[in-house]
Every structure is written in structure tokens, then in C-alpha cells.
Structure 1
């Protein structure tokens, strides 16, 4: 994604989100963001520089939309799923044909999905990207259903999305288990969602960047270069995407090594944590539909076992990414290594270590930082302004709040929930913020920031499910 530092069009909500009046004002402001970013069938992350539909954005957006309009939330996910490829993948961007090609790069004429992706079953009548993003969608579908089971049941929402979500997970379990270890792999830094994380610096060193003259960075037209990936990194992103496209968006089987066609192959703990949680959600959906939930539960257990076996590093106190090209762990400490707190069946000693790491010197959650940073505060590449190299993101902190609550750290979850609400309102629903000061970074009126606010407010006020939920 791209970013801009333009000021918010939504008035800042500068405090009082803990009072009933303050919560009402915050809810109204967040609602305005989502309503303004709605296009009629889906929601753009922001109109200025994100004029299409993004995959994991829509999952978070649907969760928030369900607190305003369950039918609109259902349509958000159904619109995304209508662009699913025959091999099961959900592309990370679904392009709006009414938007000019120069409004965003890489644009549809770069990806050429309907032709380059024909063998992999890309839609003929919808242009998309060819890569994927974290599989949050089944979790989102279940939460949308839970927000209004009557409307969901009457419209047959779960029955419609269940086969598509099952196919999506099937793609990840088969086509993307590139190491043969039972975990899904990512083939591009954009796929785990944390685009320019320092975790990718070493794997990207072996990628020859595309010539600077071969593309134009639309993000720098509106955004602050200090907040964005460097030109060198962007050239490498373009090279990886172009190579994947030119191979027809085909994936390889097990046994990835130095001679593999993919220049970037990584097992990411956050990506797989979302897959595990979404398998549990598919089990709940299957049970609701009168189908057998056991296959999903078995996959969730197998994924959890593989996640701990492969990516847990007790000496680091968190999960680390693993470079499959060199078969070595990536030593950088990223917030992706804390996201397995979402997983319900982690060993107790792993949970305890993750809780210590989250509040310790590297992330400082609740002590030196208001929100969890995207990267190690003590890391050599920490930058409080530059995208995923330090700033705090609201969707990630929403996920951590769920993880803390799930594992019984209720007071810490309550504190994080309140901080998310206060920081989101004060920043004008910023894309991301400085983790220490809360200063707004990136674009304003960002959809998933508004969406997670609506979900947290609703969960705070549900009868019997307040601070302890």
C-alpha cells in the first residue's frame, strides 16, 4: 500500500472515549469514515491513494461494518470473494475499472491477471493482482455472522462464503506449503502485509531490482518519502511481482531450495497465525451449517504444531520468520512474531514468554509505547515514521488485544483497547502512528482504523461482555 500525510477530513476526536458521550462521538466519527469510503459494493482503504479493494483490509473493514450494517459487511466480503481465482487464491487487490490506471501502481496493466493468470484460473472479467495477503477472511466472516445471526441466516451468508473460504485455505495448505513443513509460505513482501519490514532486508538482498525507469511510484506523488519504502526496496518488489507474473503466477511444490524459481520464499508467523485462527472460524461455520467441523480443527492443530516447531525461538522470546531459500531463521524481531497470541492452543510457556516480550524492552507495550510497534524498538533498523519499520498499526493492535484477552491477560487487554480507541480518535483515524507519541503517520480517515474502533466500541458496550470479554 501507499501513504500520504494529508490531514484528516474527519474531525479529530481528542479525548473522552472512556465516557458514554465520548464513545458516541468516536463511533459517529468512525462511522463517517467507513460510509465515506464505501463505493457501493466494497470499501476503499482511503480515497486518496488506495482507490481499489484490498484483501485483508476488507476483512477488517467487514468486522467494523457489521456494527453499522451487517448486510453491507456481508457484501464487502462477497465482493472480494467474487474475484477469487479457480485455484482458490484470493488476490490482494481487486481493481475498480473506473479508476484511471495512473492512480495506483502496480496497476492492472502491470499485473495482467486475466491473461497472465489464465492457467491458474484468474477471472476473465475482473482484473486483480496475482499475489495474496494474510488469511483473515474466515475469521471476519464468522464475526460478521455473529454480529447478526438472524440476518446472516436469512440471507444464507455463511452457506455462500463457506465453499470459497475452504478453497482459499486449501490453496494455502497445498500450493503454498513450499517448504513441506506444514506452514504456508509467502512469495513477496507484500503478502504478509508488512511490506517493508526489516525482516525482509536480508532475503531481498539477493533480488536484483527492476530498473527505476520501468515504473512510476504513485505513492510518492502524495506521500512523504520519509514514511515510505526506499526506491531500492520498491524496485525489488516490482522485480519479484514481475517475475511471478511472467511465470503465470504458478507456485512450486515441496523442497524449495537455492535453485527454486521464487526469489523470496518465507514462512511468516503472523500469516500462519491468522490461518490457524481462520481454520477455527471455519470449524465454527461448518458446525453452524450442519457440516463436519473436524477437518478444520485437525488442520488448526497441525498448523499450531508446525508453527511452534518451526518458528518458535525461546531465546528470542517470540516467533521468528524463516527464510526457506537459505533454510535459516530471520533474526529480526517483528510484531509478526507476537501475533500467534491469537492462537488458542499455544503451550503455556510460549504464551508466558510472548506476554513478557510484548511488554519488555523490544516492544514496550504498556510501558514505553502506547501501542505495539511494528518492529523492535531496539533494532538497528527501527524508524518510528517509516511504514512497517517501527510505526504502530491499529489492525495489528486489535489482533493483539484479542490475543491478550484470549489468554487471560484481561487488564492488559482492557488498557490496550482503551489506548487504541483514544489514539485512533486523536489521530484522525490515521493509517499508522508513532508508537511512543501517537503522532499520525500515513493517510488519514483510514478504513480499517475506523473499523476496528467500531468493533472495540461495540464489544465494550455489549451487555455482560464489557471490559472482561
Structure 2
């Protein structure tokens, strides 16, 4: 069985005023050490204590960094995850490691009961997983992993092997989650957004009956500050939603869902990955038109359905009520990564990102997860304000794509410097850079490796 490494102390590398090649090498080695310590033999855990299993979008980001150390291990990261894909196409948000004790994490495999409750939806019999999903970054990750060593990738037929699974994954989201009827995949649980306790979910969660107090335990509080984590009431609602989805056999169509939300960040990443599937098709000598056409249709629907010119940001929509949700979250900025986003929309997003609501370049060096001006803003509580490294990596990528290096360059430097100084934190206070959550976090270390590989004179070690 796979070894679960012990939690090491935080690997902290302070950034000097002028980052040189020597410092880049030290930081690269420290990030590589985090990924080595978090490796289980087949995949990489986000954090050995707090998150001791394989998480879906974590593994996509981790593979993006691993490709600079070992393209083959990056391929294995994605293939391990895809090996737990359900027959209906969904990629579960957690793949459980049977070597980890049940009480190490909740909700644990005995809660999700995927191999039995998910049988009708095609859950794997030999692997225990969760029954919900996370944002679809995987095709982008597969394309970048291939490009890190295309000759070796072709010899292993990596893209040929993962492409059918990635297509089935996107088909599931577009066909089975189109609850609003506009072609946009909807979330059935806040955890599916990856931004668990965002204030965007407060209103649609308000009518969700929480699981009874005492019917579940919170393993997360044993490894982190309660003030950094979702409240007990929110957690009770999360558990209640997941239990009802499980008891309904993880059925999408024809079932009553208490939470259905169209999330612009989730949809933007699906569009980005559709473009990646098009590039994968070109690499394999196949027709890419299907993916390009679908990406364009999704982009049109995203702008028409969720763009708010008045707010200068994309807003979530509650499918049950049909109403938009007024909260300004970083998920509404993520469509900046969409390759064919109208330039006027991209420019408006940047104005919002650098304005008083997110303060990039003035009040903040990293984009916060929520509106600085809102009473709900919290510098330390998970997705209610702290800055996260994966979304900032995506936004840096979006800024470069839309021709804004004057903003992308300092954001890249802030990402690398803050990550090193914080011990590769899970997330940080966007105003001070103070560490929150756990340290030696998988995707933080991985994305630092990716950013360093783009820097001049970089030499990420294999």
C-alpha cells in the first residue's frame, strides 16, 4: 500500500529584494521537496495531514508543476486520477487512499459509499471516491504535461490514452449538468466550485437543511484554526447536501436538487480546457472543430448569461430561482483566462481587479478571493477573502494572454515571493501575506515551479 508521508515543517524561503538565479534554484529545490514529501507512490496529496487523499483539481495543478521535475510522474498523477473516473464521465473530487485511516478525513469513504450508492451512475467498484466533482482543469494540465517532453509523451501514447476520458468528462458536464437550459454546467454542491465557503453560496445555501448536529465530525479542525475554516452551520449544510445526493444514487437528471448554481469560474475553466482538447486533437492529427465550436458556444453563453456590465464582473446565477447573485468573488474574474473572451469584457475585468473591490497593485499584491469592500470580507477564512495561489496563477495567465504584462509580471513575482516566504501556504491574508491554512501545500509548490520555469535563467531540476 502507498506510504503516507509525515507532515514536515514549513519550507520557508524568503524572497530577497532582487530575485536572482541562486535564489530561484533554492526556491525550486524547496518546492520540489514539498512535492516529494507529498507523493504517495501514485499521486500527490495536497497536504499529508489535512488532505491525505487525492483531490481532483489539486492533481491537475500539481501535474502542471511536476512536469518540470518529471514529465512521467506528472502523467502518472493525471492517469491515477482518471483511473477513478465514473462510467457516466464524472471525475470525482476525491479519490480515497485505502491506506489512510477512515478518521483521518471527513467525509470519508464510508460516508460517500461510492461503490454501492454510485453503482447506477457507473462508480468504480474497486476504488472508493466521492460522488461530486471539481473544476475541469485537467485537459489543460494534460496538454501542458505533454508539451514538457513531447517525444517521451508520444512514446508512451499519453495523449491518446487520456483524451477519451477527458472528452467523456466534458460531455458529462455539458450534457448532464445543463440544468439552466443554456448550455452551462451547474454546480450541485459548493464543494464542486473548489471555493467551498465563498459568500456567493450564502444565499442559495440558506434554504438547505443542515445535517443534524452530532451526526458528523470535523476532522479538519484538528489540523487548522477554526477561524480559518467554514462554520459548523455551513459544514452541516455541506454534509446534508452531499448525503441527499448520495441517497438519490448520485442522480443528476430527474432528481430534485436543493442547490443548483451556474459558476462563471467553473465554466471558464471548462472553456479553457475545451481549447486544450482542441490543441490535443491537433497534436494527434485529429479534427479539432468540435472542441473549438463548443468553446465558442460556451463563451457566448457565459457572457450572455453571467456577465454584468454594471458590476464589471461575472456573477453567479441561482438556477432554482433564476436570479443572479450579487456577490463579487474571484470566481467572477476567472473568465479572464478564456482565450476568445471579448476584449471589452477582458478590459472591464482588469479594471475591477485593480479597482477598490480587489485592489491588485494598490491594496493587494495577490488577488483576494472576495470583495474587499463587502462586510462579508474576511482576511483569514478560507474562500471569504484570503488570496489563493491557484486562482492567482490562472489570473496571471489570463493577463498575459490578453496582452497585459505590466500587470502579469508583478503578479508573478508576488506569487513566487509570497509562496516562498509563507512556507508554501495553502492561502494567505491578501493584505499582509500572513500564512493561513496548512503549509507545504501541493499546488502552491507546484505552481511556483511552473512560474520559476518561465523566469529568465531558470533551471528547475529533474
TM over 0.5, shorter chain: yes
Contact (CA 8 Å) 2:198, 2:384: kept in 1 or not?
Answer: yes
Report whether the alignment pairs 1:14 with 2:14: yes
Query: Partner residue of 2:394?
Result: 399
Give SS of 1:234's match: helix
CA contact (8 A) 2:139 2:273 kept: yes
Secondary structure of residue in 1 paired with 2:11: coil
Aligned to 1:201: 202
Q: How far 1:7 sits from its partner (Å)?
A: 9.9
* 1:51 counterpart residue number: 52
**Distance in 1 (alpha carbons) for counterparts of 2:68 and 2:10:** 19
The equivalences for 1:332-343 within 5 A come to 332-343=327-338
**Where do 5+ consecutive residues of structure 1 fail to align?**
1-5, 254-259, 464-469
Contact kept, 8 Å, 1:10 with 1:33, in 2: the verdict is no
Asked if structure 1 preserves the Cα contact closer than 8 Å seen for 2:7 and 2:49, the reply is: no
Cα distance in 2, alignment partners of residues 462 and 211 from structure 1: 56
Distance 1:280 1:190 in 2: 25
Q: Deviations over 1:89-146 (max 9, x none)?
A: 0000000001000000000000000000000000000000000000000000001011
The equivalent residue for 1:127 is 128
Distance change in 2, residues 1:7/1:392 (3 Å): farther
Alignment partners' CA distance in 1, 2:455 and 2:361: 20
- Give distance in 2, aligned partners of 1:455 and 1:366: 22
- Post-superposition CA distance 1:298-322 (Å, at most 9, x none): 1100000000000000111000000
Q: Distance in 1 between matches of 2:160 and 2:136?
A: 19
Partner of 1:467: none
4+ residue segments displaced more than 2 Å: none
Q: Which residue of the partner structure matches residue 179 of structure 1?
A: 180
- Residue-by-residue CA offset, 1:323-373 (whole Å, 9 max, x unaligned): 001100000000000000000111121011001000000000111001000
Structure 1 residue 8: Cα displacement: 6.7
Aligned to 2:3: none
Aligned residues of 2:211 and 2:237 also touching (Cα < 8 A): yes
Cα deviations across residues 25-44 of structure 1 (Å, max 9, x unaligned)? 11011000001101000000
1:274 to 265, 269, 272: 269
Instruction: Write out aligned runs for 1:37-116 (5 A).
Output: 37-116=38-117
Query: Does the residue aligned with 2:116 lie in a helix, a strand or coil?
Result: helix
Q: Is the 8 A contact 1:270 1:340 kept in 2?
A: yes
Q: Distance in 2 between matches of 1:222 and 1:348?
A: 44
Partner of 2:247 in structure 1? 246
Partner Cα separation in structure 2 for residue 296 and residue 187 of structure 1: 25
- What is the CA–CA distance in structure 1 between the aligned matches of 2:8 and 2:39, rounded to whole Å? 17
CA contact (8 A) 2:21 2:457 kept: no
Which residue matches 2:301? 306
Aligned partner of 2:342 in structure 1 is: 347
| CA–CA separation in structure 2 for the residues paired with 1:15 and 1:459 | 17
Name the count of aligned residue pairs: 452
- Normalising to structure 2: TM-score of the pair? 0.96
RMSD between aligned residues: 1.3
- Measured after TM superposition, the shift of residue 223 of structure 1 is 1.3
8 Å Cα contact 2:7/2:48 also seen in 1: no
Contact 2:92 2:131 (C-alpha < 8 Å) held by counterparts: yes
d(CA) in 2 for partners of 1:71 and 1:340?
Answer: 30
Is the 2:56–2:92 Cα contact (8 Å) retained in structure 1?
yes
| Aligned 8 A contact 1:44 1:50 in 2 | yes
Alignment equivalent of 1:427, drawn from 417, 422, 425: 422
1:412 aligned to 407, 410, 420, which one? 407
TM-score, normalising length from structure 1? 0.95
Partner of 1:466: none
For residues 430 and 8 of structure 1, what CA distance do their matches in structure 2 show?
A: 13
Task: Give me the whole-angstrom Cα distance separating, in 2, the residues matched to 1:34 and 1:461.
Answer: 23
Aligned with 1:87: secondary structure?
coil
